[in-house]
Structure 1
Amino acid sequence: MNALVIKALAFAAVLIVGTLIVVKQMNIDLSDPINALTMLGAIAIAVLSFGVSAKYIAQMKTDTAQGELAEENWDGIGEYKNELPAGWAYSFLGTLIWALWYFQWGYPVNAYSQIGEWNKETKAYNEKFEAVHKNADKATLQQMGESIFLVQCAPCHGTTGDGLSGKAQDFGSRMTKEQILYTIEHGSSQLGYPMGAMPPGMASGKDAEDIAAYIAGGMKGEQPASFATCAGCHGADGKGNNGMSPNLAAYDLTLVQHTLEHGKKGMIGKMPSFKTRMTPVQEKALAEYIQSLKN
């Protein structure tokens, strides 16, 4: 064994001893299978890395190229048609076999994990939360909804729900005339309602202007004849045909739930989906609070 290999293995031994000292000082329990497996892997990596590196560095110093030269070359630099070294091939195959063993038996993918424990505890807490607040009154829901709104919604919509002076949706008013005209012109397919996407160009010109002014004005006064186009899906009262399409009159629970589940393209960017991030009671509370902002 040449001097380079001996030095490499000695250096690996020093690293292993140093690692063992650190493990002892940190009181790591090597009787635990995972800790023991990790330690064995570290030792194997140290020995193989330095041993193999030293072997091939020494070999490069003494070996000369030989074999059949390939016809292709790059700027005069050719390549020999040599077989892949057996050690490399077996190491690669061994790595694949070890990986399969590790994920299925050494450390199964369905074994204990801190993330799994956290998810389990969160699920149990959410179930308890739902049971406690199942029949919460309106005042409690509004207080709960305000807390949720200030954390999740206020960064874009403002602490008072004013949309940061028009930069995002203002919850004090259902929609602006400009927003309604944009939707009429371009259609909408974001919220996943049972009646499907609203196609673009449902109205134009004065008809579109009349519809937009009527909805933006809170659907008060005389209903324009052109609103009949909208009533086919949204209902004559504009309230969405019992959840079949978006409510044009108010931010009802169904509208809030669809928006939270699917996200929505907004004026300052895409609102992400909040699916699974809120419980049904929290969604109901948020809807209750948003409705209170209009008042």
Structure 2
Amino acid sequence: MESQFTSPFWHYYIVAIVVGSIIWIVWLLLSQNVVKVKKGEDVKTMGHSWDGIEEYNNPLPRWWFYMFIMTILFGIGYLVFYPGLGDFKGIGFNGKTWSSVSQYQDEMKKAEAETGALYAKYSGMSVTEAAQNVEAMTMGKNLFDTYCIQCHGSDAQGSRGFPNLTDTDWLYGGTPEHIQETITKGRLGVMAAWGPVLGEERVRDAAHFVMSLSGREHNEERAIRGKEIFAANCAVCHGADGSGNQGMAPNLTDDVWLWNGSEKGIIETITGGRHNQMPAWEGFLTKEKIHLLTAYVWGKSHPEGKALPTDTKNAVRGVAPAEEQAAKAEPVAEPAPVAASPAEAVSASPAVEAAVSEPAVEDKAPVAADKASVVNENGVVKFYFATAKSDVAPEADKVAAEIVKAAKAGKKLVISGFTDSTGNAESNAKLSKKRAEAVQAFLKKQGVKAESMELRKPENSTGGKGDNAEGRRVEVKIEG
């Protein structure tokens, strides 16, 4: 007999308790049925009196006695036909034993037989084909609403500790095969606790370096120290550039956070580690249902129905692998010269003419991918910054000489900061403002008066995406 216990002892332990309880109840019943009152005799009392109230020593009522006997017989009969005596499953009916599990399995088989044909209609489709089929996606949403929204939310955008399934950030890969494997087999994610190893101060340093990777406000000195800590302890899983490894460690550069991206949240993660688990749906859901769920999840994150580079490799600072390679290969075009209009030439004062008559200093070199630099394009000076930094490039005084002369001659300088379209919008806006203020402070050092400068938000502040330098620039234009 197959046992459901870790030791045969528990089988005999339960049998002994059940059988012993039945024997004790039978004895108790019979022991209380010894009093007999002969016909015509007076019923005796128990010999006690409470304020004149006495208790008669009557026998048990016959109806109650026989009902108790029937209850005992019913219990014995139940234990013969149904499980209840340890591992003994009962003799059952028609040669088949009963259990709640077998009843559930029978009901599930019956339901699957009725709905199997409906799901089989889509099992022959590929995941990408099913994701474009309206009926298949409707059924997939119904399955998702039944089994998945408790963790991932009704909009599939997740919550703290549960990933967003609608973006392009994947912990274990975003291909149909990877998604199906995740649903079928489940996932177990573990990050070690580094608090006892690093100590409080070094954990904080590492946290500030992690914040710098995604462009969040951070302490520069701590980030510099944290970079060494990261390289020694964290890079083996998260990669030297922090972009992570699918199936091993998440991307730390895209400002997408499973737990919390604040300083407090990152410190908490590094200090105590994390342990997260997604259950395996294999054995609970049929292959056809898992197929439809896979199509639904893939379709939510691939609205155009095409595979993405981030399905197999993480984006670095929001730039997908294919875009990154294209950016490296694409040359930076030199700006075409624009001649001043006759009207401008006539209206210019002698002082301004003297200020702008000298040829503009233009930096034709391509902008470094992640380094502070300054270029002058047709009178518009563009200050580029390194990722998560607000330090003006050392050569800025030479390149900005033209606009400094114009400001001293009475012209107004308009300073506008730009952001990229990825990551946390609020953090990006704060960093953009900080960079614009850094340029303003630089121009003050060059002798430009405060009243000659204006911080102005551009009509379209989004200048680039991810690691694109255009999203890390501040422009200064001459106005008036």
For the pair shown, which has the larger CA radius of gyration, 1 or 2? 2
TM-score by length of 2: 0.27
| Structure with more of its chain in strand, by fraction | 2
TM-score by length of 1: 0.39
Higher RCO by CA contacts (8 Å cutoff, separation 6 or greater)? 1
Q: Which has the higher helix share?
A: 1
